Amino acid sequence: MDYSKHGTQKKEKHIRSDIPKAKHKVSFNIFRIFIFALIAVGVMGIAAAVGGLRGVLDSAPQISVEDVIPEGYKSFIYDRDGNLLTQLYQPETNRIQKSISEMPEVLQNAFIALEDARFREHNGIDPKGIVRAFVVGITSGDFSEGASTITQQLLKINVFGGGDEDSLLLKFKRKFQEQYLALELEKTMSKDEILEAYLNTINLGASTYGVEAASQRYFGKSCSEVNASEAAVLASIAKSPTWYDPIYYPENNKERRDKTLGHMLDEGYLTQEEYDEAMADNVYERIAARAEEQSDSHRVFTYYEDAAIRQVLQDLQDQLGYTQEQAVNKLYGGGLKVYLAQDNQMQNIVDEEYHDDSNFGYNNALGLEWRCSIMKEDGSTANYDQLTMQYWYWNNENSSFKLIYNNADEAWNDINHYKEALGITEENTLAESFYQPYAMQSSFVLMDQRTGEVKAIAGGRNEKQESLSFSRETQATRQPGSCFKILGCYLPGLDAAGLTLGSTKMDAPYTTPSGYTPNNWYSGYWGLTTVRKAITQSMNVVTTKFFVEDVTPELAIDYCRKLGITTLTDSDYVESFALGGLTYGVTNLEMTGAYAAIANGGKYVRPVFYSKVVDRDGNVLLDNTNPQGEQVIKETTAYLLTSAMQDVVTQGTGTACALGDGMDVAGKTGTTSDSKDLWFVGYTPYLTAGIWLGYDQNYAMEGELSETEHEYLWSRIMRRIDAECGYEPTSFTVPENIGTRTVCSKSGKLVGTSACTPVTEYFDLTSLPSGYCNDHIGATICNVCGGIANENSKSTSYKEYSSSSEIPSYSCTCPPETESASSTESETTPTTTPSTEPPVDTPAAPTTPTDPTAPTPVG
């Protein structure tokens, strides 16, 4: 036996027997490394996942309770008595806040049963709900089953903007953040607070948000009054406000309502009897009837509501610093309460008179409001309206063309001719509208001069067609004519330029240094004229002289701006300003507000359409209930203007505006060239009112009417208001520092000669007249023939005249005396010398000054 070989073989065998063990050991090591690597990867993956999740959670928005409280509540407009008139909201702000205590349990439970059965139990997220949704998704392939709690849904709406993500990754990110924030939110808010915020937030279709607005929309009652069936209807809308809209898709809503009622029964929120009753309720019939009722009662804002809305928006910007966008959002989404200053009884009187066509001389010719949009060949759109049509006719066919018609056929003839000329056809027409209001229009503003409250307005003669449409009383700027003489000349003249009602100018041909030549509305000239007479008879030449020589444009415009006139520009520093020739005109509201300052003893109070604006927490944001006003002119100036403007109504150009029955009235007429604008602005001791009459297109009205229709309408409205609203007849109060003096009616100076016609005039006691009249010219007149006396005059007398033009232009024509007679009489020489007779100033009781030589007004 070869032991060495045997040993070798044995050794080899031994070696071979170890090889599997080595392999096993290597495999085990590799496996261990793999396990360790897998664990390491897992740990790193978990760490990465945890880190990623941590990053997702860290990037979640920081929130507070305020962030989940819904924003955007509809606002309300109330009358002065607190009666609701209308609502203001944008599509997303049709929401009315309600506290959880005002929401019945049946309503709360309907949403809880359907949306989050364990709402009262979980801490913000519902693990059971998540598992249930996952299982349903795995088994059915439909992952639409919701697992979000009411807390999460509240966050989704108010923090995450509704959760409309572009990708699945972003959706999961939002879900994680939503769940995290839900846990955090429930640490700071109670269940009732969360549920209240949610039920005030959710979109419930038909442009309603929150259960109160939805209940009002669908059932016509508060959510506090809903029954189980109605509560289930509301809860069933939330998942898809369009698909489950109970007005347009009642079958869809009913299917989900029945499911909701079933959940309420299962959760013990309803008894079997209550469930059966709710299931049998034909609630959708009531919903359809309510929808029909609301469609029939679509309400257009009144002119007054338009004006109030515009003023609130402007005041939010001017007084509280809002931007225009912020002001709109606040008014239409801030849950504000706006209380109007309107007097309903007065407004009804104004409306009745404006709807009476006989007040406008039966001038019922029709105007035109037409719009047309077309698609051009290049794909762009073009828009046309009645004004582009008017310009086309003026430039191409008829320079006198007017948009005034007797009927619709006449209007369509002009429209179709215009459309044919421009190539407008039915095929390229995108939209077209047609409406015919009265052609002759008018506006009216009535306000309380002491409080600034606008009591009533009229923005036109027709029924209003749309909300926030063009308003003539607040937006139309028209030339004011002679109405502006008071504001542009006599008010600043009396207050700061040293004028009195007795100051005089010569009414005679006149050209200003700049070359402007004014003309009177009457023929000829009236000679020496006082301020009172110039106001009473609306004299143009004399007014221009006072303006140029005493007042100046700078002083006048400064006063007008203090009186609330906002339309003035640098182009208005001209002589025609005194006569109402403005660059852009003025609105009826601003004219009436300026005159109201005179009526209010010189204190300007801004015209206001609302008394106050209150936010949804009861805080007063804007307040007009205690106006302070600004003393713009002296109280004495206001009374002197009032006294002169009383004469306008009693013996001047505005006699049609007299009220009678002992009620004092003061005011001023205004007529522009060719009677394009007719005005009267006046006041009683209680109220101030302005009226305008004209065509929107600024057509001339001369010869079309008597030009006093607007004055009679003003008087008719004011008479009715006095009688029906309890205003007792009274007189204007004379301030203590107003006194009277007897003066010459021609010169306005203290009576100085027997030729003066004495009248009693009012003066500020600090500006009393000091000089005596010496403006009359004396002459010796033949008592027989009336000529200037000469040697042939048998009997003569000395007479005085107001001006040289009144003195006879011829000498005595009497035959000469015999020589013996003539030699014994003294020679009489014609004279024209100022009177030297002593002054006469006989006290007299204050009376309205009169001028027996004044011509009868014709316009």
| Ramachandran class of 364: left when φ > 0, alpha when ψ lies in -120 to 50, beta otherwise | alpha
- The pLDDT score that the predictor gives to residue 61 is 62
CB atoms under 10 Å from CB of 179, counted, come to 22
Per cent of the chain over pLDDT 90 is 65
- Range 492-506 average pLDDT: 96
- The pLDDT score that the predictor gives to residue 1 is 43
Q: What is the pLDDT of residues 332-363, one digit of tens each?
A: 999 999 999 999 999 999 999 999 999 987 77
In three-state secondary structure terms, 41 is: helix
**Cβ atoms of 589 and 564 closer than 8 Å:** no
**Which of the 8 DSSP states describes residue 456?**
E
- The pLDDT score that the predictor gives to residue 702 is 79
In three-state secondary structure terms, 334 is: strand
- Range 217-230 average pLDDT: 96
**14 residue type, one letter:** H
- Range 505-526 average pLDDT: 92
Q: Is residue 849 scored above 50 in pLDDT?
A: no
- The pLDDT score that the predictor gives to residue 786 is 86
Q: What angle do CA 187, 189, 191 make, to 5 degrees?
A: 105
Q: Is residue 199 scored above 70 in pLDDT?
A: yes
Beta-carbon contacts of residue 404 (< 8 Å; ≥ 6 apart)? 365, 366, 367, 439, 695, 699
What global pTM score does this model have?
Answer: 0.78
- Range 144-153 average pLDDT: 75
Q: What is the pLDDT of residues 50-89, one digit of tens each?
A: 444 455 455 556 666 667 777 789 999 999 999 999 999 8
- The pLDDT score that the predictor gives to residue 409 is 97
Q: What is the pLDDT of residues 729-743, one digit of tens each?
A: 999 999 999 999 999
Q: Is residue 162 scored above 70 in pLDDT?
A: no
Strand ranges (E), 696-737: none
Q: What is the pLDDT of residues 601-626, one digit of tens each?
A: 999 999 999 999 999 889 999 999 99
- The pLDDT score that the predictor gives to residue 93 is 84
- Range 1-17 average pLDDT: 42
More confident residue, 124 or 802: 124
- Range 142-160 average pLDDT: 74
**Which of the 8 DSSP states describes residue 697?**
T
- The pLDDT score that the predictor gives to residue 828 is 28
Q: What average pLDDT is seen over the chain?
A: 85
- Range 186-206 average pLDDT: 92
Q: Is residue 417 scored above 80 in pLDDT?
A: yes
Confidence of residue 173 (pLDDT cuts 50, 70, 90): low
More confident residue, 339 or 857: 339
More confident residue, 471 or 43: 471
- Range 452-477 average pLDDT: 93
- The pLDDT score that the predictor gives to residue 171 is 66
Residue with tokens 């999460």: 152
Residue in 494, 496, 510, 503 with CA at minimum distance from that of residue 545: 510
- The pLDDT score that the predictor gives to residue 777 is 72
Task: Please give the Cα distance from 680 to 711 (Å, whole number).
Answer: 6
Per cent of the chain over pLDDT 70 is 82
- Range 740-765 average pLDDT: 90
Strands 504-507 and 620-623: unpaired
**Cβ atoms of 824 and 801 closer than 8 Å:** no
More confident residue, 788 or 448: 448
- The pLDDT score that the predictor gives to residue 222 is 96
Confidence of residue 133 (pLDDT cuts 50, 70, 90): low
Task: Please give the Cα distance from 367 to 411 (Å, whole number).
Answer: 9
**Which of the 8 DSSP states describes residue 714?**
H
Q: Is residue 680 scored above 80 in pLDDT?
A: yes
